[in-house]
């Protein structure tokens, strides 16, 4: 396409801004030279209108409610793929052959144990520490152990660090859970699937055999896949920004975990289930809907709304189907929390406030119901999101690191502070 451009007119001067076109999605105005030419910054605090990078990994169409991982619709992957195959796809760009998948699975499986000395880290935490606090600490500390995979400029180091984190995050999350409930750590078992191994490490105890329930194993694998990547969300942007300084991969992923913890982001799954429990019964829903609409009340419907989706979050649709399937197969159809969630969704989707603001259930609305039915406490919901999103963070980090034009991320500001002034001696204040 001919070189398109937008023209900015400022104080009688004109500045050309090249228009760049993506394969799909909105065009972008290339403002990289704007400050040098016009001595002005653009202003976009929540990055609502800002493309921070060029990426080929995940595409979201918020209006259509569409999510593609390397071009493949999430609905098709949820039905036909597995989390590990999706990890390969996100990281390498193509679905693996049988041989590639087998090799990738074997490499991940053989990296699931953590250095035995890392067990001591957990002893330093209080038993009632939130598992996310433990994960931020332990994942960041991986750079204190795995010195042979810290050099971001070495392709092999990057690959080994990536495999280690995909493999060890479930082990670390399970250890954080076991530590919080006062049970002994359970070592990984190479004979189990990725999701089955995580369930075993969380729920097996030395006192009796634990058999992985295939229904829960499949549901867990699907939950992991649905959360795997999501374009330039807050935690992924955090990982990219940390990586742009040349920080080691473990530090970057630990930064992503810290950002994900917030209730406006990955912490919403825990907050959502706690909200559904607080609502308690269907007859109390109108009271909470009214609070969500009250500008003077900071309360928001957790699990509702999204910066990008102005239609249904496609992951929420799959999650809702999975909730029905899992609870049905577990014989807990009359789960009160699920009833409240479905009725809340029905009422909200008919309410003018939510319709006008295009607020729909997001990925966090139903995930907690399934996780609770599996036996997880709410404090483990966001750690499970972190396990799932590790592949997205790693894939985006690798894409950024391999960009030869990459620079350190360093935004500017709209300064509204005091003008220059002289120091005032204490006696004169």
Contacts with ligand SDX by CB under 6 A lie at 46, 230, 233, 264-266, 268, 292, 300-308, 357, 359, 362-364
R_g (Cα) of the chain, nearest Å: 23
Dist. CA 164–CA 110, nearest whole Å: 9
User: Least distance to ligand SDX from the beta carbon of 238, Å?
Assistant: 11
Nearest by Cα to 246 from 150, 169, 159: 150
Contact partners, residue 250, CB within 8 Å, separation at least 6: 139, 140, 141, 142, 143, 146, 150, 161, 165
Dist. CA 372–CA 273, nearest whole Å: 9
Sign of CA dihedral 161, 163, 168, 173: positive
CB 399 within 8 A of CB 57: yes
CB 222 within 8 A of CB 81: no
Name the H helices within 204-309: 214-226, 234-244, 249-260, 268-279, 285-293
Task: Determine the 3-state secondary structure of 154 from DSSP.
Answer: coil
Task: Determine the 3-state secondary structure of 228 from DSSP.
Answer: coil
Dist. CA 171–CA 176, nearest whole Å: 9
Which CB, 21 or 49, lies closer to ligand SDX?
A: 49
User: Least distance to ligand SDX from the beta carbon of 394, Å?
Assistant: 15
Q: Is 44 a catalytic residue?
A: no
CB 354 within 8 A of CB 304: yes
User: Least distance to ligand SDX from the beta carbon of 415, Å?
Assistant: 24
Which CB, 132 or 302, lies closer to ligand SDX?
A: 302
Nearest by Cα to 175 from 219, 112, 225, 229: 112
Phi, psi of 173 (to 5 degrees): -65, -40
Which CB, 56 or 205, lies closer to ligand SDX?
A: 56
CB 73 within 8 A of CB 66: yes
Which CB, 201 or 259, lies closer to ligand SDX?
A: 259
User: What is the edge-to-edge ordering of all strands in the sheet holding 66-69?
Assistant: 58-61, 66-69, 72-73
Which CB, 40 or 264, lies closer to ligand SDX?
A: 264
Contact partners, residue 381, CB within 8 Å, separation at least 6: 269, 270, 273, 367, 368, 371
Token reading at 425 = 């001696």
User: Least distance to ligand SDX from the beta carbon of 231, Å?
Assistant: 6
User: Least distance to ligand SDX from the beta carbon of 392, Å?
Assistant: 8
Q: Is 306 a catalytic residue?
A: yes
CB 232 within 8 A of CB 55: yes
User: Least distance to ligand SDX from the beta carbon of 366, Å?
Assistant: 12
User: Least distance to ligand SDX from the beta carbon of 382, Å?
Assistant: 10
From 83, 227, 306, 313, active-site residue: 306
DSSP bridge partners of 72: 69
Which CB, 266 or 383, lies closer to ligand SDX?
A: 266
Sign of CA dihedral 359, 364, 366, 369: negative
Which CB, 181 or 264, lies closer to ligand SDX?
A: 264
From 147, 364, 403, 425, active-site residue: 364
User: Least distance to ligand SDX from the beta carbon of 128, Å?
Assistant: 25
Which CB, 150 or 268, lies closer to ligand SDX?
A: 268
**Residue number, nearest CB to ligand SDX:** 305
Give the residue numbers marked as catalytic. 306, 364
């Amino acid at each position: 396409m001919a070189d398109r451009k937008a023209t900015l007119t400022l104080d009688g001067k004109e500045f050309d801004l090249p228009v760049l076109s993506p394969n799909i999605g909105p065009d972008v105005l290339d403002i990289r030279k704007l400050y040098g030419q016009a001595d002005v910054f653009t202003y976009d605090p929540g990055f609502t209108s800002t493309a921070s990078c060029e990426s080929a990994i995940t595409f979201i169409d918020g209006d259509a409610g569409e999510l593609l991982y390397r071009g493949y619709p999430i609905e098709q992957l949820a039905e036909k793929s597995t989390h590990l195959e999706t990890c390969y796809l996100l990281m390498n760009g193509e679905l693996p052959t049988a041989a590639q998948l087998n090799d990738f699975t074997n490499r991940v499986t053989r990296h699931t144990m953590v250095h035995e000395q890392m067990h001591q880290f957990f002893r330093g935490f209080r038993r009632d520490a939130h598992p996310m606090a433990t994960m931020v600490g332990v994942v960041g500390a991986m750079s204190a152990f795995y010195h042979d995979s810290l050099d971001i400029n070495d392709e092999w180091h990057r690959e080994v660090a990536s495999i280690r984190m995909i493999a060890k995050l479930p082990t670390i999350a399970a250890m954080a859970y076991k530590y919080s409930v006062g049970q002994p750590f359970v070592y990984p078992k190479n004979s189990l699937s990725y999701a089955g191994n995580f369930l075993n490490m969380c729920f097996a105890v030395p006192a009796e055999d634990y058999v992985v329930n295939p229904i829960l194993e499949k549901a867990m694998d699907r939950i992991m896949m649905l959360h795997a990547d999501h374009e330039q969300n807050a935690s992924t942007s955090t990982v990219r920004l940390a990586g742009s300084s040349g920080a080691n991969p473990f530090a970057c992923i630990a930064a992503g975990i810290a950002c994900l913890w917030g209730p406006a982001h990955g912490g919403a799954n825990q907050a959502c289930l706690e909200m559904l429990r607080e609502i308690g019964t269907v007859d109390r829903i109108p009271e909470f809907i009214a609070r969500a609409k009250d500008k003077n009340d900071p309360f928001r419907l957790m699990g509702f709304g999204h910066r990008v989706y102005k239609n249904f979050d496609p992951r929420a649709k799959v999650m809702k189907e999975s909730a029905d399937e899992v609870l049905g197969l577990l014989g807990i159809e009359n789960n009160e929390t699920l009833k409240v969630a479905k009725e809340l969704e029905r009422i909200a989707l008919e309410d003018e406030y939510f319709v006008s603001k295009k607020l729909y259930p997001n990925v966090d609305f139903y995930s907690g119901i399934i996780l609770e039915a599996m036996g997880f406490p709410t404090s483990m919901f966001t750690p499970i999101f972190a396990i799932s999103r590790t592949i997205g963070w790693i894939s985006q980090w690798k894409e950024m690191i391999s960009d030869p034009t990459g620079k350190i991320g360093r935004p500017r500001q709209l300064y509204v502070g005091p003008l220059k002034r002289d120091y005032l001696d204490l006696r004169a204040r």
